[in-house]
Structure 1
């Protein structure tokens, strides 16, 4: 359900979607269902990713400010659970026992703990160039990926966000997650 919360350090309360069916409850920071008739466009600028967008009961992004605040609570350790549904309707899961997103002045840098699950550790990928740990968040108008220029075979492009549908994310060298 949708709840109004005000974590320590937040200047105002805000609404979040809580998944109370999975392992005691999780705050949903992103929901994206491309099978919807009219899926939400995630091609957005920095300010929109900072504040959040969409409908909490449908496709949405909670907002980097809220995610940073939730993962920075004194004395608490946040975890990340990524639930995926493949094309055959099989559920895949990636769990990280620690999840932290820094403040904006650090470009919302991503920190992750130990991985477990059956989806594969896409955030850390197969090698150094795929590892998104420690990356800043990138959008169409703010590039913090680790490649300049980015190269994929014979293709060269300005940034991962531009090449990958314009969606914001913690890109390394256009990593797998």
Structure 2
């Protein structure tokens, strides 16, 4: 499922690890993450380098320097391999499968430090 992508491009959508790898395997690529809350407040993170490794590399995530207002929440996931419920690539062998714990796949560095939580928290903190 994560390998080839899923969803609807006009709504929730995952492009697919194979496509991300094909798009980023040659040259240097930037990644722009745009976040907007339900009240229209927005933040962004711009990474000056972004690659997703091959299937043989377990779709390893590589990100460069970050600029922007959302913070650098991908830094802790840099160099991590992609974990799914049936493929635990957590960096500590024998530890909990974070994809099962979170009910979703990601480049987990630690089970309870996911990018979604950190970026959403950055938006909430500014409003407080």
Is the pair's TM-score, using the shorter chain for normalization, greater than 0.5?
yes
Which residue in 2 is equivalent to 1:105?
56
TM normalised by structure 1 equals 0.60
Structure 1 residue 136 displacement after superposition? 0.3
1:161: which partner in 2? Answer: 99
* Residue of structure 1 in register with 2:121 after alignment: none
**Whose Rg is larger?**
1
If each structure's helix is expressed as a fraction of its own residues, which one has the higher value? Answer: 2
Offset of 1:88 from its aligned partner? 3.5
Could you report, residue by residue, the CA deviation over 1:28-68 in whole angstroms, capped at 9, with x for unpaired residues? Answer: xxxxxxxxxxxxxxxxxxxx000100111211100000000
Which aligned runs of 4 or more in structure 1 are off by greater than 3 angstroms? 147-150
User: Structure 2 vs 1, CA of residues 149 and 90 (structure 1 numbering), >3 Å: closer, same or farther?
Assistant: farther
Measured after TM superposition, the shift of residue 160 of structure 1 is: 1.1
Q: Note the C-alpha offset of 1:173.
A: 1.0
RMSD: 1.5
Aligned residue pair count:
114
TM-score by length of 2: 0.82
Runs of 5+ in structure 2 lacking a partner?
116-128
Q: Which has a greater percent of strand?
A: 1
- Gaps (5+ residues) in structure 1? 1-47, 125-130, 151-157
